[in-house]
Amino acid sequence: MEHYAIRETAARLRKFYETGATRDPGFRIAMLKKLGGAIRSAEADIMAALRDDLRKPEFESYASEIGILYPEISHAAGNLRNWSRPERVPTPIIHFLSRSVIYREPYGTALIMSPWNYPFQLTIAPLIGSIAAGNCALIKPSELSPATSALIAKLVADTFDPSYITVAQGGVETATAVLEEKFDFIFYTGSTAVGRVVMTAAAKHLTPVALELGGKSPTIVAADARLDYAAKRIAWGKFFNAGQTCLAPDYLLVHRSVRKEFIRLFTGAIRDFFGEDPRRSPDYARIINERHFSRVASLMRDGDIIHGGNTAPDERYIEPTIIANVTPDHRIMQEEIFGPLFPVIEYDSPDEVVSHINSMPRPLAIYYFTGRPRTARALFAHVHSGGACVNDTISHVGSHHMPFGGIGESGMGAYHGRYGFDIFTHRRSVLIRSNLIDMPLRYPPYGRKVGLLKMLFKLLG
Ligand code: NAD
């Protein structure tokens, strides 16, 4: 989209917002239902687009890009009247004869920028929050998943008034142009590097942001873990979408005493899932483009490959690969892998795990495998992460009852379910004072009133 068109679009969205149409919860519910209906009738096209972009297996497309959205939509549609109800709260006695009410109001116009790895879900899930909260939205999907982005543009155009919700397709230039406009809220999902660009642009207009970023999510297998389950659950989370998942297990910290057995079971799980030659498996995705293929492939130069390592550049295939003997200064241990490579590091004591995790930026998730789930609390007390699973990977993202988001360099602000509504909502605190009497205490001249004031606060405190 050209610059001037983006400017006009932003102005149109604002104008629509100012009509007040989105303030009506009935309107929001109707729009959510419309969105749900549109997704339902486009299911086959969505899966085809995801296959085009990522050769995503149908099961993965349905589970992580489509199915996951329906409970989000119905939960928001069913609850948003309640969520948006004005909330009467107590009033401090100092303001007696007043009432206090928190109103939950839309920000106004929202910008939603999304990445290519779950290009449909990561665009629509924030949109659900935006609609539920009563915002107008401009969506900027990723140029790296062109089939899905085009589909989103069509679905949105066929479903909504373009002054209410619309899509700007394009690459970095378009992203830069939309970021120049003033929106009332920005919801960005993507890399930490671009997250900084987005926040810097937002600072110019002092626009609040939610940043859903990436990072290196550690996976810990303790000596007492149930290794057969751990192997399957980690292989599943790691190789889902060929490792191109923001919260995929990035690397493994395994207790030295169980390392050998774990690797045996883990390679067994890879074989069970994808057969002897994962290239021929219909259930294994491809790397999004050549640039990312070369980047991930080049990370294989670090350490020693102990399983996998095969690639097919013509189809951007990278085999599920396990890499041992990595060191902190290897690139594979410094940048988010975002591909099907799994570095393995042994540890001897839990303190090593804590100091390793704390030596890195705060991750989006931590996965801890143990036979005694209570010990997870001791670990979590010493390390930070956006979210976590005990004895599982990535599954916490699938709950609309829990906030999903990062911390530190993995992001700020969380969404899903009620939290999706909250993040797109401004809480406006309103104090309504009675006209029954007018207390003179606060007015100048203050004279000796300060003594009275001190007494009053002493009594209240
Ligand atoms: P990206 O940051 O490259 O791109 C995301 C969006 O930013 C796209 O719309 C793109 O057009 C735009 N963009 C790219 N470069 C830009 C620039 N210089 N200026 C302005 N906008 C720009 O991210 P990606 O490669 O599409 O996605 C991968 C990253 O996203 C990984 O780091 C992953 O961990 C992260 N991610 C996070 C989550 C989450 O929910 N926390 C989910 C998925 C992906």
In sequence order, what are the residues at sequence separation of 6 or more whose Cβ sits closer than 8 angstroms to the Cβ of residue 16? 22, 136, 161, 163, 164
pLDDT digits (tens, 9 = 90+) for 96-124: 899 999 999 999 999 999 999 999 999 99
> For 20-33, what is each residue's pLDDT tens digit?
999 999 999 999 99
Residue 145 alpha carbon to ligand 1 centre in Å = 12
Place of tokens 């919860």: 25
**pLDDT tens-digit profile of 35-85?**
999 999 999 999 999 999 999 999 999 999 999 999 999 999 999 999 999
Active site residue 315: no
**CA atoms in the 13 A half-sphere facing the CB of 308:** 29
Q: Specify the pTM.
A: 0.96
Q: Which domains does the chain have, with CATH numbers?
A: 3-213+412-426 (3.40.605.10), 217-399 (3.40.309.10)
User: Distance of CA 375 to CAs 59, 233, 349, 381, 411, Å?
Assistant: 34, 19, 13, 10, 26
C-alpha distances out from residue 147 to 117, 257, 357, 432, Å: 12, 47, 38, 52
Residues with CB under 6 A from ligand 1: 113-117, 122, 140, 142-144, 171-172, 175-176, 189-191, 194, 197, 212-214, 246, 336, 338, 364, 406, 411
Extended strands (E) in 90-155: 98-106, 109-113, 136-140
What are the φ and ψ backbone dihedral angles of 205, each rounded to 5 degrees? -100, 5
Q: Which of 194, 200, 250 to mutate to test the pocket of ligand 1 (most atoms within 8 A of CB)?
A: 194
Nearest atom of ligand 1 to the alpha carbon of 116: 26
Q: Are the beta carbons of 297 and 311 closer than 8 angstroms?
A: yes
| Per-residue pLDDT at 2 exceeds 80 | no
